[in-house]
Amino acid sequence: MVETPSLVVAVLTFRRPQDLAALLPLLTAQLVAVGDLHPLARVLVVDNSPEAGARDLVARTPGPVDYAHEPVAGIAAARNRALDEARSDDLLVFIDDDERPTEGWLRALLGERSRSDAVVVAGPVVSSFAVPPGPFVAAGRFFDRRRLPTGSPIDVAATNNLLLDLRKVRGLGLRFDPATGATGGEDTLFTRSVHARGGRMTWCDEAVVHDIVPAARITPRWVLLRALSSGNSWSLTSLQLAEGLPAQLRTRLALHALGLIRIAGGTAQAAVGALLGRPYHRARGVRTAARGAGMLLGAWNVRYREYRRPSANR
């Protein structure tokens, strides 16, 4: 008799009670939908707020929902807490508290893992907006994310819609790097490390979640700082993956050059877009230049701390 793998769906939260309250019933419904495959599956809420503000909400939520408080600030600490809470489990799925899974989401992820026997299965995130994007953000399509045919191999993924085969993750000896707690990029480093160590990662295009983008993020400033942060974390993780001083030096110089190329190319594209009245090229050019600036900074270990907290009670 084949033993059924145990399953945990982990949602990390930080002071978003309304989002969490909307998400939890959807997750327990997803568990019911895969009950024939994983009858003992559970939801795990990892609360990263210092005051443990989500504890009462979770306690009032019906169904197999567990709670863990992680007082150490930072997304990496919260993700590692999820790994620790699932130390006896086989499969772990990450979803963010501001996301909403579509019907069949969890079954699709599980099905692709069974077919591919992958260490990691990732799915698409489609944005929904609290307010309509302004002209600059709309023109640049900043919230459009990749879509790939199901089964496509991938070499990097975000953790906002991700399944991990924990048995294989433990075999690779991987955890999330605490140094990325304030900078972000913990998912980039983690999944790139899986790939670098020979772990198979695949895409499941049917496993769609929607993220709810608040008005504060639908601004030129936010999307450009996110592009800078993305470039910065790519350089920093590339340097961490380079083994030995010669490899690190080569990587650093390559990232430096690539950052400069992106800054120059993006600036030129933005200028042409402005001159010719083409908003898409203007917006994408500015984004490319911002990502290049982040890469250039990261090449020389300058960290943009996107998730820094001004105090213990951010």
pLDDT band at 310 (very low <50, low <70, confident <90, very high): low
**Per-residue model confidence (pLDDT) at position 307:** 75
Within 13 Å of residue 295, how many CA atoms lie on the same side as its CB? 23
Three-state DSSP class for residue 8: strand
**Per-residue model confidence (pLDDT) at position 132:** 95
Say which residues have a Cβ less than 8 Å from residue 146's Cβ, sequence separation at least 6: 124
Residue 303, both tokens:
């960290």
**Per-residue pLDDT for 306 more than 90?**
no
Three-state DSSP class for residue 43: strand
Fold of 7-217: Spore Coat Polysaccharide Biosynthesis Protein SpsA; Chain A (3.90.550)
What percent of the chain has pLDDT above 90? Answer: 91
For residues 33-53, average pLDDT: 95
* C-beta separation of 9 from 31 below 8 A: yes
**Per-residue pLDDT for 28 more than 70?**
yes
For residues 226-241, average pLDDT: 95
Within 13 Å of residue 300, how many CA atoms lie on the same side as its CB? 8
Q: By CB neighbour count within 10 A (0-12 exposed, 13-18 middle, 19+ buried), where does 132 fall? A: exposed
**Per-residue pLDDT for 236 more than 60?**
yes
What percent of the chain has pLDDT above 70? Answer: 97
DSSP strands (E only) in 72-160: 91-96, 99-101, 120-122, 125-129
**Per-residue model confidence (pLDDT) at position 4:** 84
Query: How far apart are alpha carbons 314 and 232 in whole angstroms?
Result: 23
- Single pTM value for the model: 0.92
Q: Please name which of 158, 206, 164, 208 lies closest in space to residue 184, comparing C-alpha atoms.
A: 158
Type and span of the H or E element at 59: helix 55-60
Over the stretch 171-220, which tens digit does the pLDDT of each residue have? Answer: 999 999 998 877 778 999 999 999 999 999 999 999 999 998 999 999 99
**Per-residue pLDDT for 312 more than 60?**
no
Query: How far apart are alpha carbons 150 and 155 in whole angstroms?
Result: 14
- Mean pLDDT for the chain? 94
Over the stretch 255-298, which tens digit does the pLDDT of each residue have? Answer: 999 999 999 999 999 999 999 999 999 999 999 999 999 999 99
For residues 25-49, average pLDDT: 96
pLDDT band at 104 (very low <50, low <70, confident <90, very high): very high
Over the stretch 118-161, which tens digit does the pLDDT of each residue have? Answer: 999 999 999 999 999 999 999 999 999 999 999 999 999 999 99
* C-beta separation of 292 from 259 below 8 A: yes
Place of tokens 């939890």: 24
**Per-residue model confidence (pLDDT) at position 311:** 47
Over the stretch 9-24, which tens digit does the pLDDT of each residue have? Answer: 999 999 999 999 999 9
pLDDT band at 309 (very low <50, low <70, confident <90, very high): low
Pairing of strands 201-203, 99-101: unpaired
- Which of the 8 DSSP states describes residue 307? T
pLDDT band at 314 (very low <50, low <70, confident <90, very high): very low
Encoded amino acid at 273, one letter = G
Query: How far apart are alpha carbons 154 and 193 in whole angstroms?
Result: 12
**Per-residue model confidence (pLDDT) at position 1:** 42
Residue 275, both tokens:
């001159």
Residue 30, both tokens:
């997803």
Terminus-to-terminus CA distance in the chain, angstroms? 50
Residue 68, both tokens:
């863990």
For residues 76-103, average pLDDT: 97
